[in-house]
Chain A
Amino acid sequence: MSGWPNLWSDLSAATALVGMIAYALFGGADFGGGVWDLFAFGERKAAQRQAIQRAMGPVWEANHVWLILVIVVLFTCFPRGYSVLGVALFLPFHLALIGIMLRGASFVFRAYQSPQKEAATTPSVWGVVFGVASLISPILLGAAFGAVTEGAIRVDSEGQIGLIEPDAWRTPYCIANGLLALCTCGYLAAVYLTNETHGPLREDFRRRAIVAGTGTAICAAVVMGLARSEATWFYERLWSLRSLPVVVCGLGCFVGSAWAVFSRHYVWSRLFAAAEIALLIVGWGLAQYPFLIYPDITFAGVAAPEPTLRFLVLSLPVGAALVLPSLWLLMRVFKNTPLTEPVETPAAAQ
């Protein structure tokens, strides 16, 4: 492949990017669902929780496998990059991991703790843990993301790994990234839920989408403002021709989905919101490329040996041929029928 020296490493990076988009679209919405569960209020509080439980129940296991895909692609294709991230962000990753574990566990724990179909609505410790963990994990993951775009992770010529400052993952810029991630998750979840509910319940989620969407817009503005000084290289690349067109399309989709939420075109709002996230992540990827971790680690520089990359990339179509039809089946069985009649939780099933 003389015409494209880094073909396999680029394909692997693209795979990781696709995995991240999928995790943001599916896993992100799950996080958001947890947040709305925590903040359920008003006269339809119980119904809101039930709708979230019903929407997530059959799919949450599948949704979180995308995270595993990203991790596997990272450590297989860019092993040195993965280990640098693991050393530099040891603490935030562990904290996020605790959040991810508690979230998954508490979701099922809650579903199993009472025999009624109302498992989601009986107050319980695990319900709270579920909500809080859903709140914290996206913030931490977003902050870690921020530390990478900030250029805060350095590897010296001896291979010593370090952060420019010990708390470089807790700077205002990183926290703003975390909040942006959180608001985006909340927005996605609310938009998806308007597609799965009816009547006043739908209005509840529509209002939540408006709140979270506004939050997303504000956080995005703050992040951009801070990036100018905190992550200058990233800011400049984001606004350069390489990624600007994609970012502008992404922002356009955001506007589109906001319009659709206001005017109650729910199907459109879901499409636009998903496209927005996907495009913005692609924009980020283009700005970041060829750096995995700016400025010391490039994708090609830490790529695994070619046979490994080739094996992984070529196994993807085979894996996809197995997984995608199954995923389609799952969505068809549970997502196409309007969820007016309650789906039983496994604990309640006779």
Chain B
Amino acid sequence: MDALTAARLQMTVSLGFHMVYAAIGIGLPLLMVLVEGMYLRTGQPHYKTLAKTWAKTTGLLFAVGAVSGTALSLELGLLWPKYMELLGAVVGHIFGLEGYAFFLEAIFIGLYLYGWDRLGPRAHWWCGVVIAVSGMLSGVFVLGVNAWMQQPVGFEWDGDRVTVTDPIAIFKQPLWFYMAWHSTLACYLSVAFAVAGWYAWRALRGQHDARISTALAVALLVGGISAFLQPLSGDLLAKYVFKTQPAKFAAMEGQFVTQTYAPLRIGGIPDEETQTTDWAIEIPGGLSFLATGDPSAEVPGLDQVPREDWPNVELTHLAFQVMVGAGTLLMIVSAWFWWCYWRHRERLLENRWLLWTLVVAAPLGFIGLEAGWFVTEVGRQPWIIQHVMRTRDAVTPADGVVGVFYGFALLYLVLGVTVIVLLRRLANRPSAE
């Protein structure tokens, strides 16, 4: 393995790992605050039990998120020094803003987790609110940096000296805003369905108490709303990518040739050799319509892009299909759940079909989340900063990259397995609900 491949794989592993915990750190506090709020309003103890259970889980997962995030902030510079030189000079301060959000989150996590008996109920609830808001904000800020990699703005660079013309230029771009919403919703969605799946599983195992139905309702409230908003924000994002990153867009859609009345391809396997996308269900004019609002519009294909500047088309297209597929399924599941809820609320926990579906759907949100990031990050290749710096020019010249990659892969594996073991132990503990 060469250093470039190792460094890219290390980024994939570290970011893929961090994203899971980051999403939980954004989504779970929201659910926690909602049920604790219900406890404050109604005084019914099962709400408090739920909030405490979720707080415990947040405590464990937040710590792993913090650890993996710290790793990332060092790894970015260690593996991609050239990239960090430019990025730091132009948008590094956005990480500074993110830092303030982390700080608040870390402080209030301490207060929340250890403060059940030391703070008044309302003060405690507010601590939860601060966690939920600052978690969301830290995600939104870091997206500013990622959006800048996709659409670098606000600076001039001659390959050596950089001048910054506008330090907040990226916040004025729609891309940042679209990504922030899309990604925040994705976090809520993935966490909500994972929680719903877990409680559906408990219901299937014969537990039918108020906690279970509350958990399901809260999770599907958050999850359902996000599931229906997600395609809207995704559509805005896709239209913008079409305008600013046509190569990525073409790869997402498996569009090799430039054409008018371009079809929307559902599924299908792009083949870079033959430059065709086979086995797809095609909706004529669908892609042109989605990209521009006009079914006859011309959609540039990969033929407009020099061959060496293509991203991995198979992977980008596949990941895009997975993301949209996951989103569609989750919409259907939420609609079905609320229909059942509305029709026969009392017998919800006896509807084994629904419960099994929720169990099966539990990982779909996270699958969509990771797939979406593959679209964004793989589709951006070969650029580490779009049209400014290539990934291969940014990698560190230091020795030992490959060895470090294996070490880190192992480390993440150990951390991941331990978290699963501990979560199971937490769940099986008699004190935990």
Q: Which A residues fall within an 8 A CB radius of B?
A: 57-59, 61-62, 64-65, 67-69, 71-73, 75-77, 79-80, 82-84, 86-88, 90-91, 93-94, 97-98, 100-102, 104-105, 107-109, 112-113, 115, 126, 161, 304-308, 310-312, 315, 318-319, 322-323, 326-327, 329-330, 333-334, 337, 343-344, 346-347, 349-350
A residues within 8 A CB of B82?
Answer: 83
- Whether A322 contacts B104 by the Cβ 8 Å rule is yes
B residues within 8 A CB of A77?
Answer: 88, 92
Identify which of B52-60, B178-186, B304-312 touches chain A: B52-60
A residues within 8 A CB of B114?
Answer: 57-58, 334, 343-344, 346
B165 to chain A, nearest CB (A): 8
Chain B, residue nearest A347 (CB): B56
- Whether B425 contacts A113 by the Cβ 8 Å rule is yes
Q: How many residues of B contact A (CB 8 A)?
A: 76
Mostly, the B contact residues are helix
Does B240 lie at the interface of the complex (its beta carbon under 8 Å from any beta carbon of A)? no
- Whether B96 contacts A98 by the Cβ 8 Å rule is no
A residues within 8 A CB of B198?
Answer: none
Inter-chain CA distance A112–B108, complex, in Å, is 19
Mostly, the A contact residues are helix
Does B110 lie at the interface of the complex (its beta carbon under 8 Å from any beta carbon of A)? yes
Known contacts: A76-B92, A327-B107, A350-B431. The answer to whether A64 contacts B55 by CB under 8 A is: no
Total contacts A-B at CB 8 Å: 233
- Whether A161 contacts B397 by the Cβ 8 Å rule is yes
- Whether B70 contacts A100 by the Cβ 8 Å rule is yes
- Whether B62 contacts A97 by the Cβ 8 Å rule is no
Inter-chain CA distance A80–B100, complex, in Å, is 24
Inter-chain CA distance A72–B97, complex, in Å, is 10
Knowing that A82-B88, A94-B78 touch, tell me 5 more A-B residue pairs with CB under 8 angstroms: A71-B74, A87-B396, A104-B67, A311-B167, A312-B96
A residues within 8 A CB of B110?
Answer: 57-59, 61-62, 330, 334
- Whether A86 contacts B77 by the Cβ 8 Å rule is yes
- Whether B411 contacts A83 by the Cβ 8 Å rule is no
Please list 18 pairs of residues, one from A and one from B, whose beta carbons are closer than 8 Å in the complex, sorted by A's number.
A61-B107, A62-B110, A65-B106, A72-B96, A79-B89, A80-B85, A82-B88, A87-B81, A91-B404, A94-B400, A97-B70, A101-B68, A107-B63, A108-B64, A112-B425, A322-B100, A347-B426, A349-B116
A residues within 8 A CB of B60?
Answer: 108, 112, 346-347
A299 to chain B, nearest CB (A): 14
List CB contacts (< 8 Å) of B153-187 with chain A. Answer: 155, 162-168
Chain A, residue nearest B86 (CB): A79
- Whether A346 contacts B396 by the Cβ 8 Å rule is no
